[in-house]
Amino acid sequence: PIFDWNPRLETIYAVNNNTGKLKALVAKSATPSLFSAGCIPNTLSITSDYANNRVISLTRNGTPGVSTYRVLAVDTDDTKAFAHAESNSETPCGPAITQLILDIPSTEVPGTFKYFNFHRASKTYIISDERSINNIQQTVVQGFGENGQKKFEAIISGDSSNMAVNQAAGLVYIAENHSSANGKIKAISIDTGEVR
């Protein structure tokens, strides 16, 4: 499954790849509780935005090349993991109650999707894809504001792995050429797109 951890609520949020069902496992008690928020079809990634009491989901609708990436939010709750929890049975679920944050046209992310994350302070939604630029595989990391405007773009070598956001410093960390001896951790400034 696609998953993330909310340290404040001690909850694991996960989306089942096959059904799109968004679940929460509240692990802070001796008997963990399991909740569902409904289904979010075509989910690529989720991240817990515990500062704003929500789970953020990145979905792709349509076919590659003409699709739209959508950033959606599902409200969370301190007691039952979701503001609008539903039965956690394995029966088909209804659509999750979501709020649309922004749409990103696939022309902005034309390569193979890699990673998604979120910087809370600047409300920057970060997405990376791997694509061929001048016949060389590259990873393009971009940040978008809630109005859909691009805030930064950075290009690193292909074969990237993992993406983490340093919330306090405003940096995106990503491993470049991770499967070779040339592997390096790169830091990208969310303010400027500068790569170090």
Q: What is the pLDDT of residues 46-97, one digit of tens each?
A: 999 988 999 999 999 876 667 799 999 999 988 888 998 876 666 678 899 9
pLDDT (mean) for 33-40: 92
pLDDT given at position 87:
62
Locate tokens 């409300």: which residue?
123
Average pLDDT on 124-147 reads: 96
pLDDT tens, residue by residue, 166-190: 999 999 999 998 888 889 999 999 9
Neighbours of 97 (CB within 10 A): 15
**Residue 158 confidence (pLDDT):** 86
- For residue 161, the SS3 value is strand
Whole-model pTM: value is 0.91
Mean of the per-residue pLDDT values for the chain?
91
Backbone φ and ψ of 8, nearest 5°:
-70, -45
